[in-house]
Amino acid sequence: MKSIRILAFVLLSTTSLFAQSPEEKGLKIAQEAAKYDEGFESSEVKLTMTLTNKHGQESTRYLETKTLELIEDGDQSLIVFNSPNDVKGTATLTYTHKEGSDDQWLYLPAIKRVKRISSDNKSGPFMGSEFAYEDLSSQEVEKYTYKYIKDDQVNGEDAYVVERDPVDPKSGYTRQLIWYNKANYRLEKAEFYDRKNVLLKTLTYLNYREYLGKHWRAGEFLMVNHQTGKKTSLKFENYQFKIGLTASNFSQNSLIRAGR
């Protein structure tokens, strides 16, 4: 009798797995990825941004970013450029929302003004890089619809490939293909398709490291633009977590102070 019950359980589990639609499976993978990274509270990290044009010429910028984790809504982040002098003091504040358009502001030290970034311009390049302003937002599940595509391998890791389509009609992308690591749901690679559904960019996540026994962070983001031949590398160092940041550290006044 016990063996019959075990067999029945196995058959039921197998049936449920196969009954799951690609959309349901894709959403489940995205939800697991979000759940896996919960609990970092706040973080700070220093970055080196390297811009490479189609001729291979490089320019380097140094910046830092702070992030505040919010459970009831999307995360908030503050990015400040420290050098070179032509971008020093430029700062960007992003309020990601689970529903609706994100709020973003840009502080320009040359004119000492805060400029609101219109949702119509979110697909524009961030400070001349291959990252768009919308790429600065946190990865909130509600911002996309999902569809599981296949199992694959990337960066030597087993991965799920999931298509996610932005809900926001003003997004610069029609769809994205995301490679989620099967073991810990970290992102390994992303492909971005433009409004004509042509491959625009590929983002590869490199040199991962685990923090606090749970939170995986890539040591480098490499974004390659297939249509222009340009690329941007972001290298991260000195990650700190649970550093006591609050909403007061992510106001427009704090944006101005950070840029001075």
Which residue segments constitute the domains of the chain, with CATH numbers given? 22-259 (2.50.20.10)
219 CA to centre of own chain: 14
> Does residue 8 surpass a pLDDT of 70?
no
Q: Could you tell me how far CA 218 lies from the centroid of its own chain?
A: 11
Q: Report d(CA 223, CA 153) in Å as an integer.
A: 19
Q: How many distinct helices (H) and strands (E) make up the chain?
A: 3, 13
Task: Return d(Cα 141, Cα 247) in angstroms, integer.
Answer: 22
How is 135-180 classified by DSSP, letter by letter? GGS---GGGEEEEEEEEEEETTEEEEEEEEEES-TT-S-SEEEEEE
Report the pLDDT averaged over residues 152-167: 96
**76: three-class secondary structure by DSSP:** strand
Mean pLDDT of 28-57: 96
Shortest CA distance to 49 belongs to which of 119, 135, 116?
135
Mean pLDDT, the chain, rounded, equals 92
What pLDDT digit, counting tens, does each position of 107-156 carry? 999 988 999 999 888 999 999 999 999 999 999 999 999 999 999 999 88
Distance CA 180, CA 189 (A): 8
Alpha carbon distance 65, 41 (integer Å):
14
Half-sphere exposure of 139 (CA within 13 A, CB side): 19
Helix (H, G, I), strand (E, B) or coil at 258: helix
* pLDDT grade for 18, boundaries at 50, 70 and 90: low
